[in-house]
Structure 1
Amino acid sequence: MPHTQLPRLGQGFYWQDIKEGQAFQTFRRTVTETDLINFISVTGMLEAIFIEAGHEGGAIHGRPVPAALTYAMIEGFILQTMIQGTGLAMLELTQKIHAPVMVGDTIWATVTVTGIRPTSRNGRAVVDSDIEVFNQRHERVMTYSARRLLAGR
């Protein structure tokens, strides 16, 4: 069989492959000190609460990570498994933070498809989803709604 006819491993869903109300669970990942340092270094989020262990002036004790890091890690899971090669654009995002994520926490998420609207061009669709992010104690730490443009067949 020619290589162009083989199924591609890791290929994301086309919008026709998902249904409104369908839910998925991501893998889990433990947030490390290295994750924190790399993220704040590349983004410039060099706040004392993130760079100074035991920072006295912070409202959170321990090693909190930026919510943006938590979001980015979950989006990485979604990209690698659900929309790789089919996700065309993030159109809108509404986010709420419920609790801090700390170095050493293990995060994961559920993704629920809440809407699918085919567009008039190129077989694409606008796909809405609600994402709930949890830690290892099953505490909800973040929720967000995403509107993405997905490819079709």
Structure 2
Amino acid sequence: MKTVGLGFYYEDMPVGLKFKTIGRTVTETDLVNFVNCTGMVEVLFTNAEFRQKESDIKSRLVPAMLAQTFAEGLLVQATMQHTGFAFLGMELNVVSPTIVGDTIHVEVEVLEARLSKSRPHRGLVRTRNQVVKQTGEVVLTYTPTRMIKCRSGVS
């Protein structure tokens, strides 16, 4: 019986491949849970009076790392089950704010794909990930490099 929901193999990720994930709405509960879980109880995220009087952004702002974490979750669900082996690093740029009520998805382009020299049956894939909200505005860009399983067993 075939298992559905498995991730992309190295061979499925040629340079130039583009795809996008489904969306996810960031809720008030998500924000509260994230700041409490991480200890990121900065007044910008927890104090409405401060935000109204002091901040340039009056809306219910969420930490950029919450948006990035949700983006990774959307990608793990769709592309990495049983095939993603290591997150090796990334460059992250915050482009614009994410607020409670935004629905985000991830648009991905494969920038680099090569076989690992040190790990048999593994490929290294670097992508450009843009986190986009419902208005079409990009809120984050990041370029992770991951180690991914090869389907063929070729090294």
User: Would you call these one fold, judging by a TM-score over 0.5?
Assistant: yes
Counterpart mapping for 1:93-104 below 5 A: 93-104=90-101
Residue 132 of structure 1: aligned partner? 130
Residue 26 of structure 2: aligned partner? 31
Structure 2-normalised TM-score? 0.92
Residue 3 of structure 1: aligned partner? none
**1:60 aligned to 37, 42, 57, which one?**
57
- The ranges of structure 1 where at least 4 consecutive aligned residues each deviate by more than 4 angstroms after the TM superposition are none
- Measured in 2, the distance between the counterparts of 1:139 and 1:9 equals 32
SS of match in other structure, 2:35 = helix
- Measured in 2, the distance between the counterparts of 1:85 and 1:59 equals 43
Residue 69 of structure 1: aligned partner? 66
Matched, 1:143 2:141: yes
Deviation for aligned residue 1:60? 1.6
Residue 8 of structure 1: aligned partner? 3
Structure 1-normalised TM-score? 0.93
AA of the residue aligned to 1:130? R
Deviation for aligned residue 1:53? 2.3
- The percentage of counterpart residues that share the same residue type is 39
- Considering only aligned residues, what root-mean-square deviation do their CA atoms show, in Å? 1.0
Conservation of the 8 A alpha-carbon contact between 1:113 and 1:129? yes
Deviation for aligned residue 1:119? 1.2
Deviation for aligned residue 1:25? 0.6
Deviation for aligned residue 1:110? 0.4
Aligned length: 148
**2:37 aligned to 24, 38, 42, which one?**
42
- Measured in 2, the distance between the counterparts of 1:41 and 1:146 equals 26
Matched, 1:118 2:145: no
Conservation of the 8 A alpha-carbon contact between 2:102 and 2:133? yes
Which stretches in structure 1 are left out of the alignment for 5+ residues?
Answer: 1-5
Matched, 1:22 2:10: no
- Measured in 1, the distance between the counterparts of 2:40 and 2:47 equals 12
